[in-house]
Structure 1
Amino acid sequence: MKFRCACISLLLLFGLSQCSQTTEKLPYIGEPETVTNLVDGNEVTGRGYPVIPAFSFINQYGKTVTQQDFDGKIYVADFFFVTCPTICPIMKKNLLEVYKKYKDSPDVRILSHTIDPDHDTPVVLGEYVRELGITGTMWQFVTGDREKIYDIGENHYLVTAGKDAKAPGGYIHSGAFVLIDREKHIRGMYDGTTQEGTQKLIRDINVLRQEYE
């Protein structure tokens, strides 16, 4: 009888452990807003969390990159500039860990936006990428219209991105890595200048992937 009770207790404990692993979900970042979606050809309005809007930029290969390239993908977004003398080298070193871990995973991407598009042309970005040892399109570096980059950074990814004559290098930006889900909601923000923040990001990418299994 004692053995039977012990077995039942172990099974219950195992079951609870399995449930806790499979039901963990990341929070949504941002205030809920009124959204309108098409459902079976009809417009349906309700409350929902904000999503990253449509965008169009140019990557390190001179190719156009839009939000459609990230449909059905989990991705990490950040903002930087090639000549950044402060936090960018640290951020890129940390993001390389994410790149190496997921470079062969078809459902994970990285999107880095330059905040100095006048200098950071596709050619400059291409050279920068080669120096980092990055190949393929898993990690894309994009440039484009300055105001559109700043707008999507500050108003949609919820980070700081812009010119600042007093800042080192003439630009100011957040050191944040922003985790985006397949529906383009923000699901996490991490300190990209620390190992702790980077490891938390990797952990949460795995949690988010499990949500779709």
Structure 2
Amino acid sequence: MFRSVLYEVRAWAVLRRRRLALSWQLKEKGDLAFFALLGVPFLVVGLFVYFAYAARSTIDGSRIDAARVRAREIRCLAENIYHEARGESLRGQYAVAEVTMNRLASPHFPDTVCDVVHDTRWDSARQRLVAHFSWTPFKLRLESGSKEWKQAMDIATLVYDGRNTPLVDGALFYHATYVTPYWARSKREVARIGNHIFYR
């Protein structure tokens, strides 16, 4: 009997010790869980800030890229107006800009204004690549501070943004009145403005 009492006391002590150890472990884990839960709001706020900043920088980056592309495209259009029609009336300059933009909209020409302006095609009659706009193969001087350049930039901006009344609706080609290119016979004349004839 004494042995069984002694055994019971030892078992009770062991159980008590195990319970204490278990409760201590649970308490530690509880503290850990408590502190983890305390950290959740900070984590959530941090994620919101991170994603908001990342989204903002992406939006700002795309805005900057779009602004750069727009500025480059308008400059190419203005250069074409300047070199092709700076001696023409306002209507003539608008018409040249419209042809450039009509080509941009056409599936038969490149996808950017700059590529349209600097486009070259194989000319079987001359057996060489020929630029669509005669000034592009040459390094022509551009007087960027001149009245003509400022006017070309204004016209380019209006036409690029589609804020002008079309003068040569659908025209994709033009040439000076003092030449007769072979391709003109196969096109339909749309208008004559100043020193240029425009074709669809």
TM-score scaled by length of structure 1: 0.28
Larger Rg: 2
Q: Larger % of helix: which?
A: 2
TM-score scaled by length of structure 2: 0.29
| Structure ranking higher on relative contact order (CA contacts 8 Å, 6+ apart) | 1
